Amino acid sequence: MYRKYNNLYIKLDIFYVKNNIDIKMLAQSTFELEAANVLALSEKIDEDFVQVIEQIVTLKGRVILTGIGKSAIIAQKIVATLNSTGTPAIFMHAADAIHGDLGIIQQDDLIIAISKSGNTPEIKVLVPYLKQTGNTLVAMVGNKSSFLAEQADYILDTSITREACPNNLAPTTSTTVQLAMGDAIAVCLQNLRQFTDQDFAKYHPGGALGKQLYLKVGDLSDHNGLPEVEQDADVRSVLISITTYRLGATVVTEQGKILGIITDGDIRRMLEKHTDVTGLTAKDIMSLNPKTIDKTELAASALHVMRQNSISQLVVTHDGVYAGIIHLQDILKEGII
């Protein structure tokens, strides 16, 4: 590959960096080369790809991915993506397969073997055994004339122009292309299965990602209690309510109806405006029309509303009735941000 540099075209596979400009140029050329090869995959999506997707989506068994070296690492990532998006998948290392791991394969499984060359010794030893199982064999391969490609039922073409490695040896472009092909498979299957964000949440119950998809406002606000005062409550009663619940606010209600909210900020503004607070009531201090959210909404949605309105609390309702307060700190503690 060549790249223009100071009006000269330098052959990158024999070019060694000497300064910061060279480093930037070499990094950029890596991105350009890999991006070009990933984009070229669009022209390689053929009827074999469609047939593989249609077989997997109706598969009674699992998708088994196998490979050696860097391709094995890519296979493991594809397995993780498939499992998390509704397609059961298992990784089987090509070297371990002939030492007992072939027992993983069940009658209704489909096998995807990943290899750049398709001619590695491990693959040549493994493929005949895979053919004996009678399972559908898919080759994700960079050489359509290879041993693996010739033995496979379907071919997913992941050939490249060259590796980004200056010596054209280390798997760089090839593994990026394999990964992209795996993502394309997963996305197609996800769409055909009509796999929703709620389905996704079932497979990701732990961590921030899972909480964004399943944690509800009520899961947090129900632990906070119901800070509230009536509209004729004096300043002392308002302060006690805010302090007791430690949410930085209290809601002003009348017979269950939400009239307004009083926050720490409202208290500070009151003190700046009045030197004598005797006779002031909650009605004089409160902010009207507070932002609300139903307790059945996702906590992530509450965070979005807070960010949009630059506020730290939301009044929580349920079927239109006051049900509590959710504070920004509640969401922070759950690690959703």
Q: Residues comprising the binding site?
A: 93
Structure tokens at 178: 């394999």
CA distances from 154 to 48, 52, 110, 237, 275 (A): 6, 7, 11, 75, 82
Query: Which residues participate in the annotated binding site for Zn(2+)?
Result: 93
